[in-house]
Amino acid sequence: MAEHGIVIKGGWVIDGTGRDRYRADVAIDDDRIAAIGDLADATADTVIDASGRVVAPGFIDVHTHDDRMLRDASDMTPKVSQGVTTVVAGNCGISLAPFVATERPMEPLDLVGDTSAYRYPTFAAFVDELTRQQPSTNAALLVGHGTLRVSTMDDTQRPATDDEIEVMRGKVGEAMDSGAVGLSTGLEYPPARMSETQEIIRLAEVAGEKGGIYATHMRNYAADARSSMDEAMQIGREARLPVIVSHFHCHTDDNPGICSEALDWYEAAREEQDVIVDAYPYEASSTSILPEFVMKRTKALVTWSKPHPEMNGKYLHEIAEEWDTDVIDAAKRLAPGGAIYFGRDEENVKRLMTHQGVIIGSDGIPMNPHPHPRLWGTFPRVLGHYARDLDLMTMEDAIHRMTGLSAERFGLADRGSVAKGAYADLVVFDPAAIADTATFMEPEQPAAGIDHVFVNGVPVWQAGRHTGAGPGRIVGRRQA
Ligand code: ZN
Ligand code: CU
């Protein structure tokens, strides 16, 4: 009988800690890394030649909206094809549970699914169903404040009452006890806009008491970004839990200087408390079509529209022209729907991608007729475009902020590193070839240069194809 299940031979190990690569063979037994070193004499059921390749921890996508994909398209191809082995879902205040929808859910809950998608009276019921679906990646789950409000309040366009806050605190507790890793908010969005800071503190307290984190899509990323950040920090301090500021971009059309200032505020906040930010490597964002977003942002590409699906993939200003109207009116007619908003500063994207305190999260929105290319391309784009081609950082540094640092922040024990005894979540890629191929016009393209992806020791992607395996687990703070 062979000594090991799998041995990956002759690769360069980039271990996720940030330290320099080194030559080593890596052995996998069952779901764990069994040995690292010179394993020339070891026997294995499967030997993989990784000469000239990098062997790294599977990437952790810390900001996703993959909740429904985990359940309904559980092969997770947009993710595993780029080397992602764990996703954090439930961001921006949007989680599929706990909520039983009886009519189409309000924006932006509809980004993740429509009425039938929201069918979980408890968070535990959702976790059970995901476990049954056997997704191809691991998942860490956040419970969303927008979902909590919609499922608790008869009218979300006002602050919650004390009674409603108590009910929501109970739901946060149930979610945490069922395996959630924390609470997320989307304070710029309709379900949460009218919530007061105290309401969020009271909910975040429950997550904090149970070892969770607070991830926030802030009230504003433009002119009011400063006060929004102050609010996020206050919530972290008063509820006593770590803060993650989501998709830390700023919208420059309001105030061009604000982007570099925002990084300064972040630097200062880091000195005082436990906070980290995530970002993705593109100059355009993507979210619901909301007239107020159109006013703030410049060019927009329509990705889906419920009333006008024929407009998917067209620019908003072209649609407005075609309809002989202005962009605001066109946006109103296209809603509910989604759009990609251009108008970020490339210099700021570079600053974010190279910053030591920025972890990588795609913010991709799957199961969308015309998704933002970040859904398929985020991680290879950071490594191929920003690290290799532009040479702005080492791959070691970039990988640390996609794996080791991310796992530490989300409390994912024994993940995010190539270490003996760690879970065998691994990606084998060609450092000369790794690249994103998804574009704004052709967004659904698997990355180049990804040779093998393993999740819990099981191959999920090899030679450009999905293996069909579904070894993913719900991971997080409850895991031993
Ligand atoms: Zn968001
Ligand atoms: Cu998001």
Return the minimum-mean-pLDDT range out of 168-172, 189-193, 246-250, 419-423: 246-250
Ligand that lies nearest to the alpha carbon of residue 186, given by its number in the listed order = 1
Find the 177 Cα to ligand 2 centroid distance in Å. Answer: 24
Ligand that lies nearest to the alpha carbon of residue 217, given by its number in the listed order = 1
Find the 463 Cα to ligand 1 centroid distance in Å. Answer: 34
SS3 266: helix
Find the 18 Cα to ligand 1 centroid distance in Å. Answer: 28
Task: Judge contact between 243 and 275, C-beta under 8 A.
Answer: yes
- What's the pLDDT band for 250 if we cut at 50, 70, 90? confident
Average the pLDDT over 368-397 and give the result: 96
Q: CA-to-CA distance for 407 and 417, rounded, in angstroms?
A: 9
Cis link prior to 191 (omega < 30° from 0)? no
Average the pLDDT over 332-346 and give the result: 88
pLDDT beyond 50 at 78: yes
Round the average pLDDT of the chain to a whole number and report it.
Answer: 94
Res 480: pLDDT? 37
Find the 321 Cα to ligand 2 centroid distance in Å. Answer: 30
User: Considering only CA atoms, which of 111, 452, 148 is closest in space to residue 285?
Assistant: 111
pLDDT beyond 80 at 452: yes
Task: Judge contact between 343 and 253, C-beta under 8 A.
Answer: yes
Q: CA-to-CA distance for 217 and 475, rounded, in angstroms?
A: 22
pLDDT beyond 70 at 296: no
Res 190: pLDDT? 95
Task: Judge contact between 367 and 407, C-beta under 8 A.
Answer: no
Find the 93 Cα to ligand 2 centroid distance in Å. Answer: 8
Find the 326 Cα to ligand 1 centroid distance in Å. Answer: 26
Find the 64 Cα to ligand 2 centroid distance in Å. Answer: 6
Average the pLDDT over 399-408 and give the result: 98
Ligand that lies nearest to the alpha carbon of residue 365, given by its number in the listed order = 2
Find the 327 Cα to ligand 2 centroid distance in Å. Answer: 24
Q: CA-to-CA distance for 71 and 84, rounded, in angstroms?
A: 17
Find the 186 Cα to ligand 1 centroid distance in Å. Answer: 6
Read off the amino acid at residue 387.
A
Ligand that lies nearest to the alpha carbon of residue 363, given by its number in the listed order = 2
Find the 340 Cα to ligand 1 centroid distance in Å. Answer: 13
Find the 92 Cα to ligand 2 centroid distance in Å. Answer: 5
Find the 89 Cα to ligand 2 centroid distance in Å. Answer: 9
Helix, strand, coil % in the chain, rounded to nearest 5 = 30, 25, 45
Sign (positive or negative) of CA dihedral 200, 206, 209, 210: negative
Find the 218 Cα to ligand 1 centroid distance in Å. Answer: 8
Find the 281 Cα to ligand 1 centroid distance in Å. Answer: 15
- Residue 273, CB half-sphere, CA atoms under 13 Å: how many? 23
Res 56: pLDDT? 98
Find the 375 Cα to ligand 2 centroid distance in Å. Answer: 11
Find the 371 Cα to ligand 1 centroid distance in Å. Answer: 15
59: phi then psi, degrees, rounded to nearest 5: -75, 145
Res 269: pLDDT? 96
Percent of the chain scored above 70 by pLDDT? 97
Average the pLDDT over 106-110 and give the result: 92
Q: List CB contacts of 91: < 8 A, sequence separation 6 or more.
A: 63, 64, 65, 142, 144, 184, 186, 215, 217, 246, 361, 363
Q: CA-to-CA distance for 402 and 404, rounded, in angstroms?
A: 7
Find the 5 Cα to ligand 2 centroid distance in Å. Answer: 38
Domains of the chain: 3-57+425-466 (2.30.40.10), 59-410 (3.20.20.140)
- What's the pLDDT band for 290 if we cut at 50, 70, 90? confident
pLDDT beyond 80 at 385: yes
Res 370: pLDDT? 85
pLDDT beyond 90 at 59: yes
Q: List CB contacts of 430: < 8 A, sequence separation 6 or more.
A: 52, 53, 54, 449, 451
Ligand that lies nearest to the alpha carbon of residue 374, given by its number in the listed order = 2
User: Considering only CA atoms, which of 281, 266, 35, 430 is closest in space to residue 6?
Assistant: 35
Per the listing, tokens 């024929």 go with 310
Return the minimum-mean-pLDDT range out of 40-54, 116-130, 331-345: 331-345
Average the pLDDT over 305-323 and give the result: 93
DSSP letter string over 291-341? HHHHHHSS-EEEEEESS-GGGTTSBHHHHHHHTTS-HHHHHHHH-SEEEEE
Ligand that lies nearest to the alpha carbon of residue 112, given by its number in the listed order = 2
Find the 321 Cα to ligand 1 centroid distance in Å. Answer: 29
Find the 365 Cα to ligand 2 centroid distance in Å. Answer: 8
DSSP letter string over 354-390? H-TTEEE------S-SS--THHHHHHHIIIIIIIIIS
| Paired tokens of 70 | 């985990």
Helix-helix angle 197-209:145-152, to 10 degrees? 110
Return the minimum-mean-pLDDT range out of 173-177, 335-339, 352-356, 447-451: 335-339
Find the 248 Cα to ligand 1 centroid distance in Å. Answer: 9
Find the 215 Cα to ligand 1 centroid distance in Å. Answer: 10
Ligand that lies nearest to the alpha carbon of residue 65, given by its number in the listed order = 2
Ligand that lies nearest to the alpha carbon of residue 67, given by its number in the listed order = 2
Q: Which residues of 328-341 are buried (b: 16+ CB within 10 A; e: fewer)?
A: eebbebbbbbbbbb
Read off the amino acid at residue 154.
D
Find the 91 Cα to ligand 2 centroid distance in Å. Answer: 5
Find the 221 Cα to ligand 1 centroid distance in Å. Answer: 10
Rank 245-254, 283-292, 350-359 by mean pLDDT and report only the highest.
350-359
Q: CA-to-CA distance for 193 and 23, rounded, in angstroms?
A: 52
- CA torsion, points 217, 222, 224, 226, in degrees to nearest 10? 80
Res 345: pLDDT? 81
Find the 171 Cα to ligand 2 centroid distance in Å. Answer: 21
Find the 29 Cα to ligand 2 centroid distance in Å. Answer: 36
Res 254: pLDDT? 58
Find the 217 Cα to ligand 1 centroid distance in Å. Answer: 5
pLDDT beyond 90 at 223: no
Task: Judge contact between 178 and 127, C-beta under 8 A.
Answer: yes
Ligand that lies nearest to the alpha carbon of residue 293, given by its number in the listed order = 1
Higher pLDDT, 6 or 261: 6
Find the 36 Cα to ligand 2 centroid distance in Å. Answer: 37
Read off the amino acid at residue 3.
E
